[in-house]
Chain A
Amino acid sequence: MSVVASPYPTVTIASDVGVAAAAEFERFLASFTSGGPVTAPEPRIWEALRSSGWLAASEPSGPDALHLLDLVELAIVWGRHLIPAPFLSTLVARRHMAHVEESAVGEHRGGYTYALVRGRGAYVPFGGLPGCEFLTRLDQGVPTAETLPVVRIDDFAPSLPLATSPAGTDVSPEVVHETLVLLAAEAVGLAEALLERTVEYANVRKAYGQEVGKFQVIRFRLADVHCEIEAMRGYVVTALNQPDLASRAARLAARTARTIAEASIQTHGAIGFTWDVGLHRYLRHAMAAERLLAQYASTASGRSPT
């Protein structure tokens, strides 16, 4: 845990600019999701993200350039809304290819995705989305894009579909590291949104003559969820500051988000088990993230993706 001098004044929290950007981003995304969940890719949301400059938020130029700690706050906000779009991969890619002109046309123009590993069967989030470029190379050289010959898309989680690519991507360690950090941060947002929903429900739902939020078993379960979320924030900061631990930290974050989704469904009771109330979307997303991260971990330790 060595500490080196850095021009950035903090090691664990975002700057005031980052905090303000996150608050603005929350308002922006809520304008699309307050009327109900977004369950399929919507080009109008992507276009709004693009024209409002959010896709370029990570580009390392100008005095307002955001540090990775600031992007963490954006990723947390992103995770709260479960919008099906390749936002996080675009943030990371554009940070490492700011000098490249946008080439793709289509509904998700300006969007990028990549695999975290090389090899047959490598997962590509949102691979095959029209206009979203699949990068086969995102390392020291000039990034190269291809149209992903989609072998199979696993859309178990609509907010994190995983396509399977024939060869994966050559990614730099920095790209991998930043992706792991932002995936962990996204899991925090997902968990926070779940906790808020669940507390709200427990405060109004009555059983045996009282709100279920008065039962100590519910109170303690939700207190535990709060503790887990704070732990997850620690995993994000660990992943950010100790790249050697980032893979494990991100997997812990995704797994914790999954168990929080399970606790949330349980606390809702039967209605939590319905399609329409939508808690399955969080569980599915967390499970997909776990799967993506597990592939990276096993490949990084020497096994091939398939």
Chain B
Amino acid sequence: MMVGAHPQAITASGSPPRERLLSPGIVSFTDSRIQAFKEEIRGRLEPAIPASWAEAKDLEDEAPAALEVRRQWDRARFEVGLACVGWPAEHGGNGFTPVEMVLYNEVLADLDAPNVYNMLGYLLAGTAIISWGNEEQQKRFLPPILEGTQTWCEGFSEPEGGADMANCQTTATRIGDGWHIEGSKIWTTLSPWGDRLYCLTRTSLTAPKRKNLSVFLLDMHAPGVSVRPIRQLTGVASFGQVFIDTDIKDSDNLLLGREGQGWDLSSLAGAHRSAGKPRASGAGGGYAERYIRRLGECARESTASAAVKEKAEELVVRFAAHGWRTKRIVELGQAGRDVSRANSTTKIAFSELVQAVTECGVELGCPTHAEFWRQKHIECRKHSIASGPNEIYRNMIANRVLGLVR
């Protein structure tokens, strides 16, 4: 296992990037322009998929060879004008509407495309910098995300804190014309290759909880910042612990938003992640669709019991229903109706559905794909833990949606 191995630097194709495909303004799933829109996206993306993807697609999603393909894919999408499709056009994105993002994801799934590599650059840091960053920060940080040349990490979880972000122990202390930042982040995805850390810190010992946090856009190559890769249960070491003991100056312009605004900036991130975005963000490849297609194939070939095959058929329907749910959330939002109830279950529903699919894959005992399903079943444990374990979301539902006594 290539623990800590750095994926090869990407090679640009040499041809000039294509004009961005700007949003045609499709806001309904019954719009007559949908077919043409999807064909345009498909025409751009299909030839851009790295050739090495065919070999890598069944690997663990964060295995070094898969990461390398995903990195190339970020660059390739930039070159065909589809880098960060959900960003506004004035910041280099495509300005896609929520409906267009769903359509875009459908094309990705049809193409069996790789996942975005720099997911946290696109969805977390990028969207936050667009919303809260100053002009200099936007000019400095957004282009490398678009061009696929800088890897962002999320600095929320800590060794003592887990997902309890309000209890952040990493401190940023005022020293003269800057800050001394000290602490540690853990389970930091892609940190062995990270360039920038979206780092939540505690900037006040006296301000009330949730008013005492601030976000810094740390350089992970700076002196005093180091990463220890941590091997995951799949065998790869694609997350790690980040150790921070570093000084930055005010003139470095790395504080995002205002001092004390960190909770908003990280719960904004939390909202982005939990708000049905994994399926409507324009970030997902088609891994879940790939699983469900394969489940259907294995069910046909399998000699497993009728009950297991029945379960597989049912999962196909449950998976389709999840896709329709995503469209429903988009349509509710566009109609100005309440989406909070529907959205509150997205993280739990998707993660546990994917896990049910891999479990059924294992049960089918298909001789051709037995190894695939075993590996994926292990790998998919992460979905119900990452971005806050599902227990956190169940608790949020009990408190905020159901209004159970506390």
Q: Which residues of A contact B (CB under 8 A)?
A: 1, 3-13, 16, 19, 195, 199, 202-203, 211, 213-214, 218-220, 222-224, 226-227, 230-231, 233-235, 237-238, 241-242, 245, 248-249, 252
Contact = CB atoms under 8 A, between A and B. Distances in A.
A229 to B, nearest CB: 9
Contacts of B314: 248, 252
B383 to A, nearest CB: 15
B344 interface: yes
B286 to A, nearest CB: 13
Nearest to B332: A13
B103 to A, nearest CB: 8
B325 A213 contact: no
B394 A219 contact: yes
Interface string B287-328: 000000000000000000000000001101110111111011
Contact of B398 (A13, A222, A231): A222
Given A5-B32, A237-B321, A226 B397 contact: yes
A231 B344 CA distance: 12
Given A1-B106, A10-B331, 8 more contacts: A7-B30, A214-B405, A214-B406, A224-B394, A230-B325, A233-B328, A234-B325, A241-B324
Interface in B329-387: 331-332, 335, 337, 341-342, 344-345, 348-349
B403 interface: yes
Contacts of B404: 199, 202-203, 213-214, 218-219, 222
The DSSP consensus for interface residues of chain B is helix
5 contacts: A5-B30, A220-B391, A222-B402, A231-B349, A233-B342
Contacts, number: 130
Given A214-B405, A248-B317, A10 B345 contact: no
Contacts of B331: 10-13
Residue of A4, A16, A220, A238 with most partner-chain B CB within 10 A:
A238
Contacts of B403: 199, 203
B317 A220 contact: no
A249 B402 contact: no
A234 B324 contact: yes
Contact of A235 (B321, B327, B397, B406): B321
B293 to A, nearest CB: 13
A230 B397 CA distance: 12
Contacts of A226: 341, 344-345, 397, 401-402
B341 A3 contact: no
Nearest to B310: A248
A211 B397 CA distance: 18
B395 interface: yes
Contact of A213 (B320, B323, B405): B405
B31 interface: yes
Contacts of B391: 220
A7 B401 CA distance: 34
A252 B320 CA distance: 13
Given A10-B29, A231-B318, A234-B325, A3 B402 contact: no
Interface of B: 28-32, 34, 106, 313-314, 316-318, 320-325, 327-328, 331-332, 335, 337, 341-342, 344-345, 348-349, 391, 393-395, 397-398, 401-406
B284 to A, nearest CB: 15
Contacts of B341: 226, 230
B32 A203 contact: no
B107 to A, nearest CB: 12
A231 B324 CA distance: 10
A218 B344 CA distance: 18
Contacts of B31: 5
A219 B395 contact: yes
Contacts of A213: 404-405
| Top 4 A-B residue pairs of the complex, sorted by shortest distance between their CB atoms | A234-B321, A12-B328, A219-B398, A234-B325
A213 B406 CA distance: 8
A292 to B, nearest CB: 18
B28 A9 contact: yes
A3 B29 contact: yes
A9 B99 CA distance: 12
Contacts of A245: 316-317, 320
B402 A13 contact: no
Given A248-B313, A249-B317, A223 B406 contact: no
A227 B405 contact: no
Contacts of B402: 195, 199, 219, 222-223, 226
A12 B324 CA distance: 7
Contacts of B395: 219, 223
A4 B401 CA distance: 35
A149 to B, nearest CB: 35
Contacts of B406: 214
A19 B34 CA distance: 27
Contact of A5 (B34, B337, B342, B348): B34
A6 B28 CA distance: 10
A231 B345 contact: yes
A7 to B, nearest CB: 8
A78 B314 CA distance: 27
A6 B29 CA distance: 9
Nearest to A215: B404
B288 to A, nearest CB: 14
Contacts of B345: 226-227, 230-231
B335 to A, nearest CB: 6
A297 B316 CA distance: 17
Nearest to B342: A230
Nearest to A225: B402
A238 B316 CA distance: 11
B317 A235 contact: yes
Contacts of B335: 10, 13, 16
A231 B318 CA distance: 8
Contacts of B28: 9-10
